[in-house]
Structure formats: C-alpha cells, structure tokens
C-alpha cells in the first residue's frame, strides 16, 4: 500500500519543490510528509558479528527448550489427523519416551540459528 502511495506521489509531482528532483528526493519528500520525519524513522542496525551470533544462539536455546516438543507434536498431529491432542502427546511418549520429543533437533538448530541472525539484522 505504501509503495502505491509513493508511486502516486511521484507521478503527480506533489510537494516537489523542484522539477529536477530525483526519484529518491521525491520519495524522501513523500515520507517526510507522511511520517513527519524521514531521518528518525529507524535507527541504524547493528551488524556486529557477535550480536548476530548472540541472536542465533538465543533463538537456538528457545527452539530446543520450548519449540522442539511442540514442533514434534505439530508434525504428529498433521500426520495422524484422527488423534486428539492428548492422544498425540501420549503416543509420542509411548514410542520413545521423553527423548522422542526432540527427534530431528539438528536441522532445527540450523534453522533456528539462521532465523536468529536474520532477526538481529532486521530488528
């Protein structure tokens, strides 16, 4: 929606002080009108490698401790649609004990680490 508003603004030439304004100047002009101050929209992002690693590690900790049992349960519920939630949890436990809830944790760690990095980049 914002992109369409910017395009409409540029094509109409609205609020451009000079006909020689570049498209970038016109977009900045539009954003400063729409959001009052273009310069204060978002602070600079940290791309410090340690921040990225911290984001990845924190995401992995969440995925392993809380996320994996629910991921395994969700997958089971998708495969066995006739089971209730309680039956699904019981059957997972019967098939391999508590450890069964963490089957497939290695690929989940890779996924979570990458998600954590991306989150820190665009936070």
Say if CB 121 and CB 52 are below 8 A apart.
yes
DSSP annotation string for 52-65: HHHHHHHHHHHIII
| Cut 0.75: pTM above it | no
Angle between helices 23-35 and 2-12 (to 10 degrees): 120
Residue closest to 82 by CA, chosen among 91, 69, 94: 91
Which whole number is the average pLDDT over 62-88? 92
Running DSSP on this structure, what letter comes out for residue 101? Answer: G
Q: How far is CA 121 from CA 39, 47, 63, 67, 86, in A?
A: 19, 6, 19, 22, 39
Say if CB 101 and CB 72 are below 8 A apart.
yes
Per residue in 39-72, pLDDT (tens digit) is 555 555 667 788 888 889 999 999 999 899 999 9
pLDDT of residue 16: 47
Two structure tokens written together for 73 = 């349960």
């Amino acid at each position: 929606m914002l992109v369409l508003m910017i395009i409409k603004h540029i094509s109409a030439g609205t609020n451009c002080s000079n006909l020689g304004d570049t498209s970038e100047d016109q977009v900045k002009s539009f954003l400063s009108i729409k959001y009052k101050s273009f310069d204060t929209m978002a602070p600079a992002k940290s791309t410090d490698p340690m921040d990225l690693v911290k984001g990845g590690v924190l995401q992995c900790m969440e995925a392993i401790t809380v996320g994996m049992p629910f991921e395994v349960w969700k997958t089971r519920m998708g495969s066995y649609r006739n089971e209730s939630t309680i039956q699904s949890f019981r059957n997972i436990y019967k098939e391999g004990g508590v450890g069964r809830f963490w089957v497939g944790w290695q690929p989940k760690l890779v996924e979570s680490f990458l998600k954590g990095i991306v989150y820190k980049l665009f936070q």
